[in-house]
Amino acid sequence: MDRFIIRGGRPLHGDITIGGAKNAALKLLVAGLLTSERLILSNVPRIDDIATMRDLLTQHGMTVEAVNGDDSTLCISGTITNTEAPYDIVSKMRASILVLGPLLARCGKARVSLPGGCAIGTRPVDMHLRGLEALGAEITLENGYINASAPNGLTGDRIALPFASVGATENLMMAATLAKGRTEILNAAREPEMADLAACLNAMGAQITGAGTGHIIIDGVEALHGAEHHIMADRIECGTYACAAAITGGDLRLIGGQAEHLGAVIRTLEEAGVEVSEEDNALRVRRTGPLRGVDIMTEPYPGFPTDMQAQFMTLLSVAEGASMLTETIFENRFMHVPELVRMGARINVHGSSAIIRGVKLLSGAPVMATDLRASFSLILAGLAAQGETTLSRVYHLDRGYEAVERKLAACGAQIERIRE
């Protein structure tokens, strides 16, 4: 398995281009199942999760091709010939569950393996299933698979989610585009990726209003057609590189970063003593003074994102004073703590909260990535540490970040990928 060698202590300066949003692109690829015509997506990130989703769509009979040889622009087309999403693909990535709604809406049936992905919590799919049942689907669980059928098609209904689940909102929104009548999703997830998905679906002929709010209305149509859509910038990648500027005492311009999608992250950075400003089509992030401890609680959007929790824990580990970080979304998302402690961080976990007492300096050490976001939190630690850090199991990182070593090295980081 590949590993990174990082030699810390160098402030980062320069420009980093933010890629297309992983959490939008995966769902937009799935939207290609909803039409028999071509869906062309641009600004697609070149990451392993996209390759996995391409494999899954191909297994359903679709063709996913690069346009003019450019993997950042993909064309999804073809005919669905298989409505089963098998374990060997679905187990690699949790977002695979999102083929369930589109397959059910288009074909009246689907057999989808229960999903995998990062081991950061149980993340049950019951909200997906109850919502689809409300639309008229018949669902059973057997031998690790979800068997769903709707021989008479789906029918709109009013669905109140007990929790503002991103995946359930997306699955139900896509399924409802082809349901008879009106569907309302109450307590819907409000992440910017919801609005991006709805914009693409509407370009395909769907009738969706309210995406990005807690109340989404979908008026079903008989069929969707082809479209072209440019994927939004990745707000989590942007926030992650903002932390890289902050922890190294550097100055980075994050090209394509959108402040409107990063409200809670920017406010927390500024509270910690980091300067953030908008410049043309970029966010400029720099730190000239000491970092200050802050308290953070993860919450559904527009609250502080759980996908930025690990990166900020690393940042706070070298801040002045004490901080408390509380995780409310996933119950198993502190697996990076022992690795940070190996590097000299002072962190104590009490249930869903971590107390972080800042130290002046971290020390390089061999560490191991445990999940996607934790991978980058350990890169951040290595960038700030004295000495050499070896990060293994970086395949987690490759699932969601493109060309990490190239982007960081171009801004002055000493980071090298050792391929094995």
Alpha-carbon gap, residue 255 to 257, rounded angstroms:
6
Which residues are 185's β-sheet partners?
159, 216
Alpha-carbon gap, residue 283 to 22, rounded angstroms:
19
Q: Is 329 annotated as a binding residue?
A: yes
Q: Is 23 annotated as a binding residue?
A: yes
Contact 316/310 with Cβ under 8 angstroms?
no
Q: Is 407 annotated as a binding residue?
A: no
Query: Which spans in 210-368 are helix H?
Result: 235-248, 263-271, 309-316, 337-342
- Among 75, 107, 118, 200, the active-site one is 118
SS3 41: strand
Q: How far apart are the first and last CA of the chain?
A: 5
Which residues are 224's β-sheet partners?
35
Q: Is 185 annotated as a binding residue?
A: no
DSSP class of residue 82?
-
Helix (H) or strand (E) holding 141: strand 138-142
75 part of the active site? no
Query: Which spans in 108-256 are helix H?
Result: 126-134, 166-176, 192-203, 235-248
Q: Nearest 5 degrees, angle CA 346-CA 351-CA 357? A: 20
DSSP class of residue 336?
T
Contacts 24+ apart (CB under 8 A), 59-65: 59/85, 59/86, 59/89, 60/33, 60/85, 60/99, 60/103, 62/32, 62/33, 64/29, 64/32
Fill in the amino acid letter for 239: G
Q: Is 94 annotated as a binding residue?
A: yes
Alpha-carbon gap, residue 229 to 197, rounded angstroms:
9
Query: Which spans in 322-403 are helix H?
Result: 337-342, 372-384, 395-398
Alpha-carbon gap, residue 285 to 311, rounded angstroms:
15
Catalytic residues: 118
Annotation: binding site: 22-23, 94, 307, 329
Q: Which residues are annotated as a binding site for UDP-N-acetyl-alpha-D-glucosamine?
A: 94, 307, 329
Task: List binding-site positions for phosphoenolpyruvate.
Answer: 22-23
